[in-house]
Amino acid sequence: MIRQPLHRLSLTLLLLCSGASADAPAPGDTMQLDTLGMQISAEEKAAIIRAMEYGREISRKAEKINGAPYRRDAHAKATGCLRATFTVNGDIAPRFQHSVLSEPGRNYRAWIRFSNGDMTVRPDAKPDARGMAIKLMGVEGEKIAPELRGPATQDFIMTNTPAFFNRNIFDYVDNMSHLADLQRTRWFAGIAPPRFHPKLFYRAVQTVSSEIDSPLAPQYYSMLPYQLGNTPLKFSARPCPGMTVTGGIDRSNPDYLTRAMAQQLEHGGACFDFMVQEKVAGADMPLDDAAVIWSETDSPFIPVARIEIPPQSFTDAAQQQFCENLSMNPWHGVGEWQPLGSLNRARRLVYHAVSRYRHGENDAAMSEPDSWCLEGGDQCDLSAELHRTKSRWPLPRCFDELYQPADGSPSPGCIASGDTDETATY
């Protein structure tokens, strides 16, 4: 029961390096790998190139499975792209006031892409990793990756598990050497050479076993570390306290996660607390071992911003096409912000090439959004997309349950009001 989903996810993660096959250097030629100014050792460069080589054949297989349009090689199925706002908390600590968090109270418009982790488009009921990727627009500061053209944006990419099942790029490429031969679980245990990775195998099983009621329900994690100003940290998005999630959706529908969000956002909203977790001295918080879960006892998550998702419609064809063309990259960022570790360095070299390859095959323009308007700019009518439910008027009047009218009649409880007016726009 474990082998097939584990194989799917391993294949998916392998494909993070495969979509760039058209741009991959020749086997063994490390000089052709453009490191974009990053300090990368010869061993790490060789590992990244090997990952690209192993991914070529599997990339072609993935394209045949999914067909047109060419989809992402991981998190291929979007369950929805939503308009949102991201507001920096007014009481954010000074040590976190860098990059997009530098101004307390600052509000950004954002897009959020929720997704299933597999490389193929499958029914939502299948156990899988779940993703949440946030793109902030209107950000200010120098880009950390100038090769990423277009308006400056800041992306926060997360999944609903706090750790990865490969520690670093070297684990990753060793794992792929077996996957390239379709030896699905061979890296986790074997005798030639001797190896046994039960903890990492457990992490892999955790990753592919997720079943959720709604993409708005889980907590999401960065898995990999970043540096904000002088502070190494990880980040996370957790549903706001007291937020309820629509239930009762028929899971036999292959797109039930999309329907669950659509039902909730028809008349109500959703929100998440965006949090950071600092690396603290003396704790087991390595920067290049993604399989270690940083202890929340040693370093609790600290809320630094609030993500609010207003009532909205998001399932029309134009918005789905926009969602398909949206590029998420951990190196979309500005100012004093830096992805850390060998896996993040590999992502910089690979993700952009993957996106270029996909957009080229789909004959789609590659650009960054600058607003909630699908075509860009701020001159668009969003009255059909964004909803606002107006309070019933007159407002209901509720009395204390112990209240007794002077004439001795029963307590009136709540006096009902009129109907809800849902014609206004958000």
Residues of the chain above pLDDT 70, percent:
75
Burial class of residue 23 (count of CB atoms within 10 Å of its CB; 0-12, 13-18, 19+): middle
Q: Report helix, strand or coil for 8.
A: helix
Q: Both tokens of residue 142?
A: 């120098």
What is the model's pLDDT at position 421?
40
Task: Answer yes or no: are the C-beta atoms of 247 and 213 closer than 8 Å.
Answer: yes
Mean pLDDT for the stretch of residues 38-51:
88
Q: Which residue has the higher pLDDT, 404 or 48?
A: 48
**Within its chain, how far is the Cα of 73 from the centroid?**
15
What is the model's pLDDT at position 13?
41
Has residue 8 got a pLDDT over 50? no
What is the model's pLDDT at position 220?
98
Has residue 347 got a pLDDT over 70? yes
Residue in 373, 369, 368 with CA at minimum distance from that of residue 384: 373
Q: Which residue has the higher pLDDT, 307 or 46?
A: 307
Confidence of residue 424 (pLDDT cuts 50, 70, 90): very low
Q: Both tokens of residue 64?
A: 């045949």
pLDDT tens digit sequence for 202-219: 888 888 889 999 999 999
Mean pLDDT for the stretch of residues 80-103:
98
Confidence of residue 416 (pLDDT cuts 50, 70, 90): low
What is the model's pLDDT at position 394?
57
Q: Which has the minimum average pLDDT: 108-122, 220-234, 402-416?
A: 402-416
Name the one residue in this structure whose structure tokens are 């709540």: 414
Residue in 152, 169, 185 with CA at minimum distance from that of residue 345: 169
Strand partners, 79: none
What is the model's pLDDT at position 24?
40
What is the model's pLDDT at position 420?
39
Separation CA 217–CA 271 (nearest Å): 10
Q: Which residue has the higher pLDDT, 418 or 271?
A: 271
What is the model's pLDDT at position 409?
81
Mean pLDDT for the stretch of residues 100-124:
92
Q: Which domains does the chain have, with CATH numbers?
A: 3-361 (2.40.180.10), 390-426 (no CATH)
Separation CA 1–CA 56 (nearest Å): 28
Mean of all residue pLDDT scores within the chain? 83
Task: Answer yes or no: are the C-beta atoms of 387 and 313 closer than 8 Å.
Answer: yes
Angle between helix 3-14 and helix 42-66 axes, rounded to 10 deg = 120
Q: What is the CA radius of gyration of the chain?
A: 23
pLDDT tens digit sequence for 175-195: 777 766 656 677 778 777 777
Confidence of residue 121 (pLDDT cuts 50, 70, 90): confident
pTM tops 0.85, yes or no = no
What is the model's pLDDT at position 1?
39
Q: Which has the minimum average pLDDT: 39-43, 191-195, 234-238, 347-351?
A: 191-195
